Amino acid sequence: MKTRKKLLYNLALIGAIVILANIASTGLFYRLDFTQDNRYTLSKATKNILRNLKEPVTVTAFFSKDLPPNVAKNRQDFKEMLEEYNAISRGNVVFEFINPSEKPEYEQKAVQKGIQPFLINVREKDQLTQKKAYMGAVIQYGNKEEILPFIPVGGAMEYSLSKAIKKISLENKQTIAFLQGHGEPGRYEMPQLMEEIEVLYNVDFITLNDTVNNLLKYNTLAIVSPRDSFPQTHLEQIRQFLEKGGKLIAAIDRVDGDFQQVRGFPVNTGLESLLESYGIKVENAFLIDAQCANVTVQQQSGFFRMQTQVMFPYLPIITNFNSHPIVSGLESVVLQFASPLNFIGDTTQVVYTPLMVSSANANTHPSTTYFDVQRRWTKNDFPRKSIVAGALIESKNSAKPFKMVVFGDGNFAVNGSEQKAQQQQPDNINLFANALDYLSDDTGLILLRTKSITDRPLENIEDGKKAFLKYLNFLLPILLILFYGIYRLQRRKIMRIKRMQKNFVD
């Protein structure tokens, strides 16, 4: 009887603890994350955005059900992320999941919101069929609305969702200026960059007024790939802007190339002399690198003309980045006719931080040159290493608290116009946007933009290591079960021996 009462007491105690734990954990969400890139850990930027929400955010997720496991996992990841958003925002993020395939009106609503279906291959009854699937969301904040037509996988999921919430909850956007009037590209020539930065900023494209310094109303100025000379009055206005605490991004070309004439030539605008006065010199030379992009050339083979890919060191691919928020998470940036940077300033006055450097096989080349696309480059052509291609300068003088980011290539984030337009790779855009965020934004989205799952394709693993991983995945579970079985067998054997002994008490 006493034992029964004790059992009931223990059960009641456990039930009370479970109930209290559930009540206490309401609004809490926690999970362990052992991934190398912390893909399941929300960033500080996201947490700041969620904690500063003044109104509830409603997320309506349109996700199909009964999808293949690799696709269905994205739905589960998104649901768990929303649960964590809800907990951190203290209930200000509410969500619901709708299966568009369940009712025609649900599907019609998804399509009206701009969420289009995509086709996936599904095996049913030993037959491969195509199935229509939805995987998007609508985010609402007050009377504002943002559409995510497709929910990306991995770290990009958090960035897409947090960026959308930040965009519709931001009350006052900061305005940044892009300089015009010296041959710089216009807004329509940088659509990728504009799409990325207009989430957080209003962007003005301005020309300088010769009588009034209209730069002084901005905090950040971007100068991208100028081609014409700067009048002295314009250089002086930029200097005044910096000395009043302004922040500058200067992506300039000291060299350029013409593929039609197959030659390189120098570019002089006068802006380089202004940068030198602040301690950074953009060399009048090409940065060449053995780690580079290829170009297509036509070669004659008998009666046939073939197109061949050949290395072109004048298009360096940068993969070496400093430990700094501007370049955090970047994997590769492709430059086009870049120049090296040298620091010639006073370290007692400014802090100089190289952001990205060439590979261990690099060199410089004169600005006036002929491009020999048939040349066979050797290792001896690249005796130098870690040549700086982008840098940050920050003033130590509180009276002149300027900051500037300088890149030795003006076109890495420019798409171009008409027939010459080309898609830039994401990290080119991320680099410029990160520099703007570092100078202008304090929300921390700079670190979230490039948070993603590191790509580790099996093709790049050696055959021996690939075979080892294969057999390890196959044999390890079996070995663990065998070891556990042996352990249980030994334990039971020991217990049997003990029970056979005199005075044994269980």
> Span 288-316, mean pLDDT?
82
450 band by pLDDT with thresholds 50, 70 and 90: low
The highest-confidence range among 143-157, 274-288, 433-447, by mean pLDDT, is: 274-288
> Span 326-348, mean pLDDT?
93
* Segment (H or E) for 379: none
CA–CA dist 230, 138 (Å, integer): 47
At which of 168, 184, 215 does a domain end? 168
pLDDT tens-place string over residues 216-240: 999 999 999 999 999 999 999 999 9
Kindly state the tokens that stand for 228.
């014409």
At which of 101, 133, 168 does a domain end? 168
The answer on 434 and 322 residing in a single domain is yes
Q: What is the pLDDT of residue 483?
A: 86
Kindly state the tokens that stand for 312.
């072109």
Question: Domain total for the chain?
Answer: 3
CA–CA dist 326, 334 (Å, integer): 16
The answer on 50 and 101 residing in a single domain is yes
Percentage of the chain exceeding pLDDT 90: 54
Q: Is the pLDDT score of 58 beyond 50?
A: yes
Q: What is the pLDDT of residue 449?
A: 67
Strand 255-258 versus strand 341-343 pairing type:
unpaired
The answer on 198 and 133 residing in a single domain is no
Q: Is the pLDDT score of 350 beyond 60?
A: yes
CA–CA dist 239, 246 (Å, integer): 9
Kindly state the tokens that stand for 14.
């456990």
CATH code of the domain containing 84: 3.40.30.10
The DSSP code for 384 is B
Helix residue spans in 33-128 (DSSP H): 44-51, 69-88, 104-112
CA–CA dist 27, 9 (Å, integer): 30
How many angstroms separate the most distant Cα atoms in the chain?
Answer: 108
Q: Is the pLDDT score of 25 beyond 60?
A: no
Q: What is the pLDDT of residue 493?
A: 83
Kindly state the tokens that stand for 157.
């999921």
Closest by Cα among 133, 104, 103 to 119: 133
Note whether residue 307 is domain-resident: no
Length of the chain: 506
The answer on 494 and 394 residing in a single domain is no
The answer on 232 and 356 residing in a single domain is yes
453 band by pLDDT with thresholds 50, 70 and 90: very low
- DSSP one-letter string for 141-170: ETTEEEEESS---THHHHHHHHHHHHHHH-
3-state secondary structure of 37: coil
The answer on 56 and 143 residing in a single domain is yes
Domain that holds residue 470: 463-499
Q: Which amino acid is at 428?
A: N
Q: Is the pLDDT score of 19 beyond 80?
A: no
CA–CA dist 175, 203 (Å, integer): 6
Contacts of 8 (CB under 8 A, 6+ apart): none
At which of 168, 192, 218 does a domain end? 168
Q: What is the pLDDT of residue 167?
A: 86
pLDDT tens-place string over residues 236-278: 999 999 999 999 999 999 999 998 888 999 999 999 999 999 9
Note whether residue 18 is domain-resident: no
Note whether residue 504 is domain-resident: no
The vertex-350 CA angle with 347 and 356, nearest 5°, equals 90
Q: Please give the backbone phi and psi of residue 202, each rounded to the nearest 5 degrees, phi first.
A: -85, 140
The answer on 447 and 382 residing in a single domain is yes
* Segment (H or E) for 380: none
The answer on 366 and 417 residing in a single domain is yes
CATH code of the domain containing 337: 3.40.50.880
Question: What are the C-alpha distances in Å from 376 to residues 178, 337, 373?
Answer: 41, 19, 8
CA–CA dist 147, 112 (Å, integer): 11
Q: Is the pLDDT score of 417 beyond 90?
A: no
- DSSP one-letter string for 191-205: HHHHHHHTTTEEEEE
> Span 493-500, mean pLDDT?
78
The answer on 380 and 421 residing in a single domain is yes
Note whether residue 67 is domain-resident: yes
Average model confidence (pLDDT) across the chain = 86
Residue 465's Cβ-side half-sphere holds a number of Cα atoms within 13 Å equal to 6
The whole-model pTM stands at 0.75
Kindly state the tokens that stand for 433.
């946007």
Q: What is the pLDDT of residue 149?
A: 92
What's the distance, CA 222 to chain centroid? 21
The answer on 203 and 70 residing in a single domain is no
**Which of 232-236, 436-440, 473-477, 495-499 shows the lowest mean pLDDT across its residues?**
495-499
> Span 435-459, mean pLDDT?
66
The answer on 145 and 125 residing in a single domain is yes
Note whether residue 257 is domain-resident: yes
- DSSP one-letter string for 328-347: TT---EE-SS---EEE-S-T
Note whether residue 302 is domain-resident: no
CA–CA dist 141, 167 (Å, integer): 10
Note whether residue 179 is domain-resident: yes
Q: What is the pLDDT of residue 26?
A: 47
Kindly state the tokens that stand for 370.
């002929």
454 band by pLDDT with thresholds 50, 70 and 90: very low
Query: In 10 A of CB 218, how many CB atoms?
Result: 18
Q: Please answer whether residues 383 and 363 qualify as being in contact, where contact means their C-beta atoms are separated by less than 8 angstroms.
A: yes
- DSSP one-letter string for 286-330: EEEESSEEEEEEEEEETTEEEEEEEEEEEEEEE-EE-SSTTTTT-
The answer on 329 and 274 residing in a single domain is yes
6 band by pLDDT with thresholds 50, 70 and 90: low
The highest-confidence range among 15-19, 169-173, 220-224, 367-371, by mean pLDDT, is: 220-224
CA–CA dist 129, 123 (Å, integer): 6
Q: What is the pLDDT of residue 126?
A: 66
Note whether residue 17 is domain-resident: no
pLDDT tens-place string over residues 367-407: 999 998 888 899 999 999 999 999 999 998 877 789 999 99
Q: Is the pLDDT score of 314 beyond 60?
A: yes
CA–CA dist 102, 125 (Å, integer): 22
Percentage of the chain exceeding pLDDT 70: 86
